[in-house]
Amino acid sequence: MAFIRTFEMLCEYLEVDPTLSLFFRIFKLQRQSTKDGRHSWVSLKRQVKLFKMYVDSVRGFKE
């Protein structure tokens, strides 16, 4: 659900309408198959990298 909420917030910030086509341009579905060939679960994965990680805020956070 975090992917969906992030997408909504990004669209609101950029003042664009959130559409399915835009959502699936950014994210893709990953499906896990069972041994009998059926799909057991679905997850989302980033298809294109939109942002760089802000490493400075992560380094040394425990110090």
Domain ranges of the chain: 2-57
Count of alpha carbons within 13 angstroms of residue 35, beta-carbon side? 0
What's the pTM? 0.54
Strand pairing of 27-33 and 39-46? antiparallel
| Structural tokens at position 46 | 């980033």
Residue 19 burial (CB < 10 Å; 0-12/13-18/19+)? exposed
CA torsion sign, 28 to 48 to 2 to 9? negative
pLDDT at 57: 60
Per-residue pLDDT tens, the chain, 63 aa: give them: 777 888 899 899 999 999 999 888 888 887 777 777 776 777 777 766 766 666 666 666 666
